[in-house]
């Protein structure tokens, strides 16, 4: 029964998943949406956050935010909406960790709640591990450019100076590396 539900959710469009979630509140529908875009969530978090632990924590927070926010918002373009949620959460996370002064009740929504069960956490950790493994499969120049751009938040010019590649090659390596990662991660889904 559970396997059939999982197979059925994989076939649904983003709009249908959101609509069904808003109707029945089944968190498995949000998990399916999140799984489709985990690589993007990690990439955006990596652009704004420095440590692996912060990236993982912020990624888990995004899942929790999706559970809450998808019930409240009408989402027409999920990918664009998700990008803004991830970016805003990463900036908020970074600000909180730079100058943590104590618990703020208004920031409650950014704390991972009890609803985020251990199974989901393990699934997310597995996806992050898969991303790390797939990064190793990229060509060296692609991997280096992606790390400098997303993990170290370097500009194209800085990457050009560091690697000795021209700017067009840097942009190409970043674009092709992202595309290859997405394809490889989707194969494992």
How far apart are the C-alpha atoms of 79 and 40, rounded to whole Å? Answer: 9
Contact 14, 70 (CB under 8 A): no
Interval 16-69: pLDDT, tens: 988 999 999 899 998 998 998 999 899 999 888 988 899 999 999 999 999 999
The whole-number pLDDT of residue 189 equals 58
Condensed to tens digits (0 to 9), the pLDDT of residues 93-129 reads 888 876 553 444 444 443 333 334 444 555 656 666 6
Among 79, 61, 44, 72, smallest CA distance to 153 is for: 44
pLDDT of residue 146: 84
Q: What's the pLDDT tens digit per position in 141-167?
A: 998 888 888 777 888 999 999 999 999
Q: How far is CA 104 from the centre of its chain?
A: 25
Of the candidates 54, 20, 17, the one whose C-alpha atom is nearest the C-alpha of residue 33 is 17
Domain boundaries, the chain: 13-115, 138-189
For 121, other C-beta atoms within 10 Å of its C-beta total 14
CA distance 151 to 144: 10
Q: Which residues contact 12 (CB under 8 A, 6 or more apart)?
A: 20, 29, 32
Q: Which CATH architecture has domain 13-115?
A: Orthogonal Bundle (1.10)
- Reference 44, options 179, 150, 183; nearest CA is 150
Domain 138-189 has CATH 1.25.40: no
Tell me what pLDDT residue 128 has: 66
Q: Please check whether the two domains, 13-115 and 138-189, share a CATH topology.
A: no
The reported pLDDT for the residue numbered 115 is: 37
Cβ neighbours of residue 107 under 8 Å, at least 6 residues apart?
Answer: 92, 96
Question: Tell me, what's the pLDDT at 169?
Answer: 95
Burial call 12-26: b when 16+ CB within 10 Å, e when fewer: eebeebbebbeeeee
């Amino acid at each position: 029964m559970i396997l059939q539900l999982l197979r059925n959710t994989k076939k649904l469009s983003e709009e249908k998943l959101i609509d069904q979630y808003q109707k029945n509140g089944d968190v498995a529908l949000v998990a399916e949406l999140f799984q489709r875009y985990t690589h993007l969530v990690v990439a955006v978090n990596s652009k704004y956050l420095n440590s692996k632990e912060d990236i993982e924590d912020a990624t888990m927070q995004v899942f929790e935010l999706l559970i809450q926010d998808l019930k409240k918002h009408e989402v027409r373009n999920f990918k664009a909406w998700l990008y803004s949620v991830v970016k805003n959460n990463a900036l908020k996370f970074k600000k909180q960790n730079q100058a943590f002064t104590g618990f703020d009740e208004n920031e409650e929504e950014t704390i991972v709640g009890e609803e985020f069960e251990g199974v989901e956490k393990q699934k997310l950790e597995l996806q992050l591990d898969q991303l790390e493994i797939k990064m190793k499969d990229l060509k060296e120049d692609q991997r280096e450019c992606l790390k400098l751009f997303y993990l170290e938040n370097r500009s194209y010019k800085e990457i050009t100076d560091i690697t000795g590649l021209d700017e067009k090659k840097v942009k190409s390596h970043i674009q092709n590396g992202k595309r290859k990662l997405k394809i490889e991660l989707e194969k494992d889904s």
